[in-house]
Structure 1
Amino acid sequence: MLERFTERARRVLVLATEEARSRRHETVGPEHLLIGILQAGGDFAVHSLAQLGVSPDTLRAEAERVLGETPGSATGHGGSLCG
């Protein structure tokens, strides 16, 4: 199934899955994907965030904060970066 994605996209998915598992979350949520994107790095993500006036470090800290508020699930009890 993952073969339809680019190598970079597959890397982001692997990193997001590892992030969710390390937190014992049952699902991979948008916060995990965001952390995966930031961990994978790349000029496109950093440039896009800069164009929006967002620091990658600030965004990661916010994702970490949201994930820290939601034990067991990325969207279980607390906030979400998507809503």
Structure 2
Amino acid sequence: MFERFTPDARQVVVLAQEEARALRHGHVGTEHLLLALLRLDTPTATVLRRHGLEHDAVAEAVTAHLGGGDLDAEALRTLGIDLDAVRDAAEATFGPGALDAPGRGRQRDDSGHVPFTSRARKVLELSLRETLAMRSKRITDGHLVLGLLREGQGLAAKVLHDRGVDLPALRAELRLLLDS
């Protein structure tokens, strides 16, 4: 399936991994795909921004739901503890991921790959279905957003709903963009 991805769609997958690592999440979920889409400079990302979605605000919403590096680090910083310095020292001594507890969803394979959740994998599958339904040959970042909207159950969908995004209007605008 990945051979059908355009360079922008492939970049979303790479950036989603980066987003998960930056937030110190042990998985790539629908929320990380959304954050990755918002880091692009594409017509699809422009449509998302027109619907009130900005990377930093979405990242804050994701962190509020799942936790992540900055909130815990800020709390410790008020006590004079630099969490990044502690993590860096531990990883320098014991290796990457030394502080990641087994069984807490932070496991990675030796390549640094962060596994995709079943919902995120479903988004990728649904993006292929959207591509085929539109009789397109390649999966674009726009098709990934359509797959995200069609999946409709992950944290990305909750963030979209909580931010008051008009999902039918967003879908219609994306389809128009992809048809042009």
- Tell me the equivalent position of 1:77: none
- Tell me the equivalent position of 1:55: 52
The structure 1 segments of at least 4 consecutive aligned residues displaced by more than 3 Å after TM superposition are: none
- Tell me the equivalent position of 1:81: 156
Instruction: List gaps (5 residues or longer) in structure 1.
Output: 74-79
Tell which deviates more after alignment, 23-32 or 12-21.
23-32
- Tell me the equivalent position of 2:24: 24
Q: Which amino acid aligns with 1:34?
A: L
2:39 is the counterpart of 1:39:
yes
Aligned-residue offset at 1:6: 1.2
Aligned-residue offset at 1:46: 1.3
Aligned-residue offset at 1:11: 0.4
8 Å Cα contact 2:34/2:156 also seen in 1: no
- Tell me the equivalent position of 2:67: 71
Counterparts of 1:23 and 1:38 in 2: how far apart (Å)?
15
Instruction: List gaps (5 residues or longer) in structure 2.
Output: 69-104, 106-154, 159-180
TM-score (norm 2): 0.35
- Tell me the equivalent position of 2:10: 10
RMSD value, Cα: 2.6
Aligned-residue offset at 1:66: 2.6
Q: Percent identity?
A: 38
Aligned residues: 73
8 Å Cα contact 2:38/2:48 also seen in 1: no
Counterparts of 1:34 and 1:20 in 2: how far apart (Å)?
11
Q: Which amino acid aligns with 1:10?
A: R
Aligned-residue offset at 1:25: 0.8
Aligned-residue offset at 1:16: 0.9
Higher Rg of the two aligned structures? 2
Aligned-residue offset at 1:3: 2.7
Secondary structure at 1:37's aligned position in 2? helix
Counterparts of 1:21 and 1:48 in 2: how far apart (Å)?
23
